[in-house]
């Protein structure tokens, strides 16, 4: 197997296992498979995984090895935040499943859940994917990719906010617990929101100091996540 094929296999296995882990966390804790909202959340993530695979295979093929990591120069604090986000995400899905099993929340209107599903899809399957397609340096971890002539990206959704992928992720984090009809899960998600905002602020400061052209870009595009707010 040549190196690219091996990398593709590693990438596919990692993403499939990630989606399977999400499904196990949801359905095992709920004790049932007939939970349409959980299948909806899995569909959002499945579409996102497929779209990201298409991006690294066709639009930005240089991202394949970059996203497999670890890579030289990545920041320890960023790795710690990403690890915490993964843990909080797992806990959120388990809590949502337990809520389904024991009825802590008591359900939400189907219209609210369907609306939340649409917003989750906009967050990950539209905003996040759009940002990934527009940014050939879209790594999983924060580092300056000097070997790939890293520069500030200013096209696509980066014309409107400096961190559009995080904006999409925040939209998902805010509404996936509504989709899953669980207020306790929403409380857990609030920690994910705080971690994402912290990562945005720290990443923005790092890029302004270390990435050529970013400070000028930040003067032109004033807002990090939400136009007119921050």
pLDDT in tens, the chain (230 residues): 666 666 677 778 888 999 999 999 999 999 999 999 999 999 999 999 999 888 888 887 777 666 666 666 678 898 899 999 999 999 999 999 999 999 999 889 999 999 999 999 999 999 999 999 999 898 888 888 888 888 999 999 999 999 999 999 999 999 999 999 999 999 999 999 999 999 999 999 999 999 989 999 999 999 999 988 88
Using an 8 Å Cβ cutoff, are 208 and 218 in contact?
A: yes
Q: What is the reported pLDDT for 85?
A: 95
Task: Note if the bond before 86 is cis, omega within 30 degrees.
Answer: no
Nearest-angstrom CA–CA distance, 11 and 221: 33
Question: What's the pLDDT score for residue 228?
Answer: 86
pTM: 0.92
C-alpha to C-alpha distance for 218 and 152, rounded to whole angstroms: 10
In whole angstroms, give the CA distance from residue 45 to residue 22. Answer: 9
- Rounded to 5 degrees, what angle do the CA atoms 124, 105, 87 make? 45
- What CATH number belongs to 3-220? 1.20.120.1630
Structure-token match 């909806």, residue found? 40
pLDDT on residue 66: 66
The pLDDT, as a whole number, for residue 200 is 96
Domain ranges of the chain: 3-220
């Amino acid at each position: 197997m040549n190196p690219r094929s091996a990398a593709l296999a590693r990438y596919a296995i990692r993403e499939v296992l990630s989606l399977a882990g999400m499904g196990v966390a949801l359905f095992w804790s709920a004790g049932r498979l007939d939970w349409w909202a959980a299948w909806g959340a899995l569909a959002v993530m499945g579409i996102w995984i497929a779209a990201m695979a298409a991006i690294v295979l066709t639009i930005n093929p240089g991202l394949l090895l970059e996203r497999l990591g670890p890579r030289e120069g990545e920041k320890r604090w960023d790795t710690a935040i990403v690890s915490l986000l993964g843990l909080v995400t797992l806990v959120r899905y388990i809590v949502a499943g337990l809520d389904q099993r024991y009825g802590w929340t008591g359900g939400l209107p189907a219209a609210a859940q369907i609306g939340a599903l649409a917003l989750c899809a906009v967050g990950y399957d539209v905003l996040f994917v759009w940002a990934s397609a527009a940014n050939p340096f879209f790594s999983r971890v924060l580092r300056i990719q000097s070997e790939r002539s890293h520069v500030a990206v200013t096209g696509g959704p980066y014309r409107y906010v400096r961190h559009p992928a995080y904006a999409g992720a925040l939209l998902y984090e805010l509404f996936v617990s509504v989709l899953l009809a669980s207020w306790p899960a929403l409380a857990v998600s609030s920690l994910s929101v705080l971690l994402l905002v912290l990562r945005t602020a720290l990443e923005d400061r790092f890029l302004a100091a270390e990435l050529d052209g970013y400070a000028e870009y930040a003067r032109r595009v004033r807002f990090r996540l939400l136009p007119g707010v921050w």
